[in-house]
Amino acid sequence: NPRSFGRRYNLTGADYFTFQPNLAFTYLTGTWSFTAYSYYEHNTRNARSGYRTGDILHVDLTAMGQYGNWTLGPVAYYVRQATSDRSSATMDAALTAALSGLDITGFNAGKFESFAVGGLVSYNFGKLFLTVIATNEIFSRAFGGYSGTPVLSSIPFTNETTTRGWTVLSRLAYPLWSG
């Protein structure tokens, strides 16, 4: 039980667990590496609210070539919510009562998926590594369910309500010790 586990070890945060099995394959050839990495998030029911976030599948793909101190190449990712979110009967009853009179069919029942492509550039400064990854979501959608708020209740999860765009991440790595 996440709730008693959290109390026993004085942990803060959500009262649920996420199990995340993963699988990765890498092919190395000369100065190139090709990697496919996938993981699946299986979320348990929140012990406090009864809410359960849907399971989510992630797939990351990279092809990197190394040229001296530089590493660069294309990257892509795909993410999809495999199962719908579910709330407890108590939560559904409370939301239904609070929003009575509005035609809402399915709280938090939506799913999403997204596909992005981009590139990775990394430079090795010796003991310091700087990496920049930029991706652009070329496909993104949400489907099923409604927003579940009084102001937006008439707006179903659709492509029009899904954010798309560029994401740029950077990482600066310095090994504290090496063997």
pLDDT score at 63: 97
Mean pLDDT of the chain: 80
User: Which tens digit of pLDDT belongs to each residue from 53-87?
Assistant: 889 999 999 999 999 999 999 999 999 999 887 77
Which pLDDT score is estimated for 17?
87
Let me know if 84 is exposed, middle or buried by CB neighbors in 10 A (0-12, 13-18, 19+). middle
Number of alpha carbons in the 13 Å side-chain half-sphere of residue 90: 4
Rounded CA-CA distance 139/110 in Å is: 17
CA-to-CA separations, 93 to 89, 96, 97, 100, 107, in angstroms, rounded: 6, 5, 6, 10, 10
Structure tokens of 145? 């369910």
Distances (CA, A) of 42 to 6, 20, 75, 143: 19, 6, 25, 20
What pLDDT does 124 receive? 95
Residue 38 has pLDDT above 80, yes or no: yes
% of the chain with per-residue pLDDT over 70: 68
Is residue 2's pLDDT more than 80?
Answer: no
Q: What is the pLDDT of residue 36?
A: 98
What DSSP string runs through 142-169? EESSB--STTTTT-BS-GGGS---EEEE
Phi and psi torsions of 3, nearest 5°: -65, -50
Q: Is the pLDDT of residue 40 over 70?
A: yes
| Amino acid at residue number 14 | A
pTM exceeds 0.75 for this model: no
pLDDT value at residue 37: 97
How do residues 100-129 score in pLDDT, each as one tens digit? 665 554 455 567 889 999 999 999 999 999
Distances, alpha carbon 4 to alpha carbons 7, 15, 18, 50, 87, in Å: 5, 9, 16, 15, 21
